[in-house]
Amino acid sequence: MAGLDWGGIYKELGAKPVINAIGSVTLLGGSTPIPEVKEAMERADAAYIPLMELEEKAGDAIAKMVDVPAAYITSGAGSALTLATAAFMAGDDDDNIQQLPNTTGMKNEILIQKRQRYWYDRCLELAGAKLVDFGSEENTTREDLEEAIGPNTAVVHYLAVEQSPDPHALSLEETLDVAQAHNVPVMVDAAGQIYPLENFGKYVRMGADFQCIAAKYLGASQSVGLALGSKEMIRKLSLQSFIGYEGRRIRGVGRPQKVDRQEMIGAVAAVKHWMTMNHEDRLAKAEGQSQTILAPLRGIRGLKAELINNVIGHISFGVRLEVDSTVTGKTAHDIVAELKEGEPPIWTRVRDGEDCVLIHVFGLNDGEDRIVGERIASLFPMG
């Protein structure tokens, strides 16, 4: 564990710190800014800066590093999605901008594949837009999209999941093809699509008008996100920003989604670090941590423990536990609950309707890999 004072600042308040073996989840704090980011953020303290200017310069720096036309720093990827939908609906018309979330007189429909409905799609509706499904539960075709596009279509949304592509969804290539033929813009949630590096910003380079990135996966504050896109799109998105209240005396929907100047500077430092760091070392460390967790779990009857090594996106190595409850007397849900009840609590993941435990090393401090492995082993005393 990281030092004797592990979690002390939380304990002083009577709150209970936990070992994060789930990964970059918002519920537990999402990320720990890396030293390079903290140092940059601290340097930002010394002076104030007009935030419209900082957003522009920081966005330019990020756009250059990831090879997209333009970028904007937002209050998480969730806010990037909301501001983007606002921009697609209101454009650069200040009356429209101030009217949202009332969308009267604006195109307000966001098309989304039924198969791609997901947890964060609520962020797409926050500025007043309406989600309209296309395709079926089983699959999505070009014709489904053709038919769905209508006079109220503001944008087509696409969820990029390169680590486990959906063969029955309409691909981004086809989505772009159909949408562009109808002069409809396309936005992409690519929050975790940051590795391999050529994927970072790829969807904008493919022709999407916008994509988001969650900086929680990059070693920045989890409260930061990136909007990447065409110059025109990012200009419109910037008009929705919280800064507009004072900067332009225009009250857009973005006001409750602030970003600190320190966070903006931190985001630039995080992108710079990510684009230049040695990813072989990062992956080797994560694989080593996963192997340390696995070591004490070999040979336990009824427990199948294996390495997860899909390194695409933000998830690198990890461990997957499959339990045969007829042998162990425990389900995956039991294991997750028992780990949470331990001292200190260890948080791992089991998805609804699945019977396996997923462990990710993203949030583990040095030495915590060993603790996690041994604690899991201790739940099977008959091993």
Q: Which residues bind ligand PLP (CB under 6 A)?
A: 26, 76-78, 120, 189, 191-192, 214, 216, 225
When the beta carbons of 118 and 245 are compared against ligand PLP, the nearer one is: 118
How far is residue 253 from each of residues 97, 180, 286, measured CA to CA in Å?
Answer: 8, 28, 40
Q: Let me know: does 332 contact 355? Beta carbons within 8 Å.
A: yes
Which residue's CB is nearer to ligand PLP, number 112 or number 294? 112
At residue 182, what is the residue type?
H
* Cβ–Cβ under 8 Å, residues 222 and 213: no
Toward ligand PLP, which CB reaches closer, 206 or 337?
A: 206
CA–CA distance, 297 with 286 (Å, rounded to integer): 17
Q: Closer to ligand PLP by CB, 76 or 128: give it.
A: 76
CB of 251 closer than 8 Å to CB of 98: yes
Q: Which is nearer to ligand PLP, 22 or 294 (CB)?
A: 22
Burial of residue 98 (number of CB atoms within 10 Å: 0-12, 13-18, 19+): middle
> Smaller CB distance to ligand PLP: residue 160 or 179?
160
Q: Work out how close the CB of 119 gets to ligand PLP at its nearest, in angstroms, rounded to a whole number.
A: 8
Q: Quick one: 59 or 192, whose CB is closer to ligand PLP?
A: 192
- Name the minimum Å distance from CB 24 to ligand PLP: 7
- Cβ atoms of residues 259 and 224 within 8 Å: yes
Which residues are registered as beta bridge partners of 158?
188
Contact in structure between 71 and 227 (CB atoms under 8 Å): yes
Nearer to ligand PLP, 34 or 303 (CB): 34
Least distance in angstroms from the C-beta of 77 to ligand PLP: 3
Whole-angstrom distance, CA of residue 328 vs CA of residue 380: 7
Nearest CA among 71, 97, 112, 68 for reference residue 259: 71
Our CB check for ligand PLP shows the closer of 269 and 335 to be 269
Min dist CB 62 to ligand PLP, Å, is 15
Q: How far is the CB of 160 from ligand PLP (least distance, A)?
A: 8
Cα–Cα distance for residue pair 259/241, rounded to 1 Å: 10
Instruction: Please state the closest distance from residue 145 (CB atom) to ligand PLP, in A.
Output: 21
Nearer to ligand PLP, 187 or 191 (CB): 191
* Sign, Cα dihedral of 9, 11, 16, 19: positive
Q: Rounded to whole angstroms, how far apart are CA atoms 242 and 14?
A: 34
**Shortest-Cβ-distance residue relative to ligand PLP:** 76
Distance in Å, CB of 118 to ligand PLP, minimum: 7
Is residue 75 within 8 Å of 258, Cβ to Cβ? yes
- Residue 226: CB minimum distance to ligand PLP, A: 9
Q: What is the CA radius of gyration of the chain?
A: 22
Return d(Cα 18, Cα 378) in angstroms, integer: 18
110: β partners? 131, 155
Least distance CB 105 / ligand PLP (angstroms): 29
Q: How far is the CB of 328 from ligand PLP (least distance, A)?
A: 32
- Taking residue 185's Cβ as centre, other Cβ atoms within 10 Å add up to 21
